[in-house]
Amino acid sequence: MIKAILIFNNHGKPRLIRFYQYFAEDMQQQIIRETFHLVSKRDDNVCNFLEGGSLIGGSDYKLIYRHYATLYFVFCVDSSESELGILDLIQVFVETLDKCFENVCELDLIFHMDKVHYILQEVVMGGMVLETNMNEIVAQVELQNRMEKSEVRTFLNSFL
């Protein structure tokens, strides 16, 4: 199971947070801070696994992260997930973002947090991996976007 997915930038500013277990808002912020603190002091050439912080998880949990340019993608998972599998999954997620936003950058995530959530929802559901095939994910996201567009069009048409 995945317990949480956090995306924050090099300064620890959250860009997307997705907890699959309930934490109150202040606790969530504390977890983000702690995770950022743990992850940010690591060089880029060390391993991508971290035995969990004190706030989130415990001995059974691991932080698995990747660092892309200005953003950290951190997954907190338990021992039923394969470490290398999750690393691949992060890669799939980022490549999907890249495809959906056409050359994704931090600004896309900043201004379209909702869209990023919708994409993530097609990858992970309730803490379990839903789909790992990028084409399938992109197809579902696009179908939903198309539906949204058609609804907006009918909404506007009703005034004309």
Partner 1 sequence: MALKIVKGSIDRMFDKNLQDLVRGIRNHKDDEAKYISTCIDEIKQELKQDNIAVKANAVCKLTYLQMLGYDVSWAAFNIVEVMSSSKFTYKRIGYLAASQCFHEGTDVIMLTTNQIRKDLSSPNQYDTGVALTGLSCFVTPDLARDLANDIMTLMSHTKPYIRKKAVLIMYKVFLKYPESLRPAFPRLKEKLEDPDPGVQSAAVNVICELARRNPKNYLSLAPLFFKLMTSSTNNWVLIKIIKLFGALTPLEPRLGKKLIEPLTNLIHSTSAMSLLYECVNTVIAVLISLSSGMPNHSASIQLCVQKLRILIEDSDQNLKYLGLLAMSKILKTHPKSVQSHKDLILQCLDDKDESIRLRALDLLYGMVSKKNLMEIVKKLMLHVDKAEGTTYRDELLTKIIDICSQSNFQYITNFEWYISILVELTRLEGTRHGHLIASQMLDVAIRVKAIRGFAVAQMATLLDNAHLLTGNTQRNGICEVLYAAAWICGEFSEHLEDPMQTLEAMLRPKVATLPGHIQAVYVQNAAKLFATVLRKHDGETESQAAQETSQLLIDRLPLFVQSANLEVQERASCILQLVKYIQKLQQKNVEVAEEVTALFAGELNPVAPKAQKKVPIPEGLDLDAWINEPPSESESEDEKPKAVFAKEEPKHSRSRHTEVDEKELARRREVRKQEQANNPFYIKASPSSQKVYDAPGVEHIPVVQIDLSVPLKVPGMPMSDQYLKLEVERRQKEKAERKKKEKKKKREKRGKERKADSGPESEEDITPAHQVDIVTEEMPENALPSDDDDKDPNDPHKALDIDLDKYVPYCRHLQFIHVLHIVYDIQGNHQDESKVVVSVIFENKSDSFLKSMEFNVLDSLNSKLQRPEGAGAHDSLTVPFQLPPGQDTHAFLFVSSVSVSIVAVCIDCFLMQSDESSTHEKLDFKLHFTCTSYLITTPCYSDAYAKLLESGDLKGSSLRLEGINMPFHHLLARICFHHHFSVVERIDSCASMYSRSIQGHHVCLLVKTTVSIDAKCDEPSLLGNVLDEIKQTFSKC
Token pair, residue 47, equals: 């391993």
Interface stretch with partner 1, choices 22-30, 67-75, 98-106 (CB under 8 A): 22-30
Angle 83-101/134-157 helices, nearest 10 degrees? 40
Question: Per CB under 8 A, does 49 bind partner 1?
Answer: yes
Question: Per CB under 8 A, does 60 bind partner 1?
Answer: no
Token pair, residue 132, equals: 């790992």
Figure out which of the listed residues 110, 135, 142, 153 binds partner 1, where binding follows CB under 8 A: 110
Q: Do the Cβ atoms of 131 and 89 come closer than 8 Å?
A: no
Q: Site map for partner 1, 70-89, x if CB under 8 A? A: ----------x-xxxx-xx-
Closest to 107 (Cα-Cα) out of 118, 116, 95, 120: 116
Question: Per CB under 8 A, does 125 bind partner 1?
Answer: yes
Q: Do the Cβ atoms of 78 and 68 come closer than 8 Å?
A: no
- Residue 98 or 129 having the CB closest to partner 1: 129
Q: Count Cβ neighbours within 10 Å for each residue of 48-78 and write b for 16 or more, e otherwise.
A: bebebbeebbeeebbbbbbbbeebbbbbbbe
Question: Per CB under 8 A, does 143 bind partner 1?
Answer: yes
Q: Least distance to partner 1 from the beta carbon of 117, Å?
A: 6
Site residues (vs partner 1, CB under 8 A): 1, 14, 16-18, 20, 22, 24-26, 28-29, 43, 45-51, 80, 82-85, 87-88, 110-114, 117-118, 121, 125-133, 136, 140, 143-144, 147-148, 151-152, 155, 159
